[in-house]
Amino acid sequence: MKNIYLQIPSNLNDLSEIVLATVTGTQGSTPQKPGSSALFNRNGLIAGTIGGGVLEGKVQEMASRIIETRNPVHHVFYLDASAPGGEDTLCGGRISVLLDPDLARHNHVFREIRTCSEKRIPGILLTRVVNHGSEGISVEREWTTDMAEYLSAGSDNSGFREIRPLKASDETDMQIFMEPVIPLPRLVIAGAGHIGKALSQIGKMIDFEVTVIDDRPEFANSSNLPFADRIITGPVGKSLEEIEKGSDTYIAIATRGHRDDGDALKACIGSDAAYIGMIGSKTKVALMKREFLDKRLATSEQWDRIHAPIGIDISSVTVEEIAVSIAAQLIQVRSRKD
């Protein structure tokens, strides 16, 4: 999922009209799970989702009201029209949503998240919700990159979780929500031609951080690649060598020719990348495989990890269809890995 916190403006003056809504708990059938978040202003949804439909409309109404008061709200919505106070929906469950209209108080936290994300450092966002009874609730946030702290709390690092601290009966009621914020997986596209361009757009849509490499300035530019997070202009093989290829890196090779494809593949085969795919006909792939094995540029096991020809076979013909087939394979591999 896209990091909702990176979509919060960094300018304090831009935060006064924004409410962050976060699903903190669910029971029964609900449209979203804990940790799902969205940003609202007076006019409606800005980014993210907490379920859409009637629920999102109710949250929008509540967000519009608390923009004026600056007071956070932790509300339970009953998704059953037959329940007292229930909403006009057939889900039948219930969902707790925390709405925070005073994001400026935590702008330093969001800046820390942004800085860590740029460095691809995962961390944990701690949100403390304190119930002061008739005085309402207060919200405090803290950012930590100590993942051990999260794991020691009993989580399997799979997602949002709640901790209720032990307390004496006369102490204020408190809830602590722990949320892992992990950098998006990185999609590196070797080649900024028609397929690379189309894939960069779809890759961004399916929640990848997109990098595109090409040695042609007329292709490797923001006008041609408006959806790319990073554009590298230079020799494909050398540029790909210099990119860290960890287990959250997905590489799609679609350059303009056999030589550049080979240089790109040499730079990443045998790496820890989660996915390496290369475009080409079955004949081209067979010839390249023989070359790599004969020259000992790769072992049989390393070659078997390459998705070539790239993409899922959906009888694609057009550039857009080919990009969709590659994107589908990326989703498939990412889902299995997760």
Question: Both 40 and 168 in a single domain?
Answer: no
CATH of the domain at 209: 3.40.50.720
Domain boundary among 55, 86, 105: 105
Residue 30 CA neighbour count, 13 Å, CB half? 24
Domain boundary among 85, 105, 125: 105
Question: Both 220 and 324 in a single domain?
Answer: yes
Question: Both 173 and 209 in a single domain?
Answer: no
Question: Both 98 and 120 in a single domain?
Answer: no
Question: Both 245 and 329 in a single domain?
Answer: yes
Question: Both 272 and 286 in a single domain?
Answer: yes
Question: Both 95 and 111 in a single domain?
Answer: no
Question: Which domain does 124 fall in, by range?
Answer: 106-181
Domain boundary among 130, 161, 181: 181
Q: What is the pLDDT of residue 200?
A: 97
Question: Both 215 and 111 in a single domain?
Answer: no
Query: What's the domain count of the chain?
Result: 3
Question: Both 50 and 66 in a single domain?
Answer: yes
Of 256, 261, 220, 210, the C-alpha closest to 237 is: 261
Question: Both 173 and 122 in a single domain?
Answer: yes
Question: Both 55 and 115 in a single domain?
Answer: no
Is there a contact between 67 and 42 (Cβ–Cβ < 8 Å)? yes
Q: What is the pLDDT of residue 156?
A: 46
Question: Both 66 and 31 in a single domain?
Answer: yes
Per-residue confidence in pLDDT tens, the chain, 338 aa? 578 998 888 777 788 899 999 999 988 888 888 999 999 999 999 999 988 788 899 999 999 999 998 999 999 988 875 544 545 455 668 899 999 999 999 999 999 999 998 888 999 999 999 998 888 999 999 999 987 665 555 554 457 888 877 654 555 688 999 999 988 999 999 999 999 999 999 999 999 999 999 999 999 999 999 999 999 999 999 999 999 999 999 999 999 988 999 999 999 999 999 999 999 999 999 999 999 999 999 999 999 999 999 999 999 999 999 999 999 999 999 998 76
